[in-house]
């Protein structure tokens, strides 16, 4: 049942993305948008199956209505995927707007890291052992 709820929610999300991309464009003939939707659907499907198999609590947090306060940090950070979305869809303007969108996300990540370091025993050692926790070889 949990996997079914995840699949339904994913289908709704892909449909919403399709509507937000293709209705304003006024055409179905936008190969990059179709590729984007296909990749999103595939990644979503793989994620749901993997989470159902190895991390059902995380899948449960994803399918809850509203904001899940106990949702894993990794799920929240995954929103950085949006950074390359505009370029993929061919929008140069999005590159100019991205710093405005990314700034609050980066601030939140820094606050979460500070909170984890202060409140989670062993996290400071983890930070020392794993210097790049978000972007390999960069951050």
pLDDT in tens, 27-74: 889 898 899 899 989 988 998 898 888 888 877 877 775 544 555 555
Question: Are both 42 and 83 inside the same structural domain?
Answer: no
Residue 75 has pLDDT above 60, yes or no: no
- Here the tokens at position 17 are 């993305």
Question: Are both 78 and 62 inside the same structural domain?
Answer: no
- Residue 16: its pLDDT value, please? 86
Q: Are 58 and 72 in contact (CB under 8 A)?
A: yes
Q: Which of 20, 36, 67 is the last residue of a domain?
A: 67
Residue 89 has pLDDT above 80, yes or no: no
How far are the Cα atoms of 33, 51, 57, 137 from residue 45, in angstroms, in the given order? 18, 10, 17, 28
Q: How far is the C-alpha of 7 from the C-alpha of 48, rounded, in Å? A: 7
Q: Are 72 and 37 in contact (CB under 8 A)?
A: no
Question: Are both 112 and 91 inside the same structural domain?
Answer: yes
Please tell me which residue, 101 or 78, carries the higher pLDDT value.
101
Question: Are both 139 and 98 inside the same structural domain?
Answer: yes
Question: Are both 79 and 53 inside the same structural domain?
Answer: no
Q: What does the mean pLDDT of the chain come to?
A: 78
Which residues, other chains included, contact 52 with Cβ-Cβ below 8 Å and sequence gap of 6+?
2, 3, 6, 59
pTM over 0.75: no
Question: Are both 76 and 136 inside the same structural domain?
Answer: yes
Question: Are both 56 and 83 inside the same structural domain?
Answer: no
- Residue 83: its pLDDT value, please? 57
Q: How far is the C-alpha of 32 from the C-alpha of 116, rounded, in Å? A: 39
Least confident of 12-21, 24-33, 83-92, 100-109: 83-92
Domain range for 17: 1-67
84 φ, ψ (degrees, to nearest 5): -100, 0
């Amino acid at each position: 049942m949990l996997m079914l709820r995840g699949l339904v929610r994913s289908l709704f999300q892909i449909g919403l993305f399709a509507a937000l991309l293709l209705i304003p464009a006024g055409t179905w003939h936008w190969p990059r948008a179709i590729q984007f939707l296909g990749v999103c659907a595939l990644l979503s499907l793989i994620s749901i199956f993997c989470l159902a198999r190895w991390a059902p609590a995380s899948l449960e947090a994803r399918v809850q209505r509203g904001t899940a306060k106990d949702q894993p940090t990794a799920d929240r950070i995954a929103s950085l995927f949006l950074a390359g979305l505009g370029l993929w869809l061919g929008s140069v303007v999005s590159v100019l707007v991205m710093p405005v969108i990314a700034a609050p996300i980066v601030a939140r990540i820094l606050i979460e890291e500070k909170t984890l370091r202060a409140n989670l025993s062993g996290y400071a050692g983890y930070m020392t052992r794993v210097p790049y926790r978000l972007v390999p070889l960069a951050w």
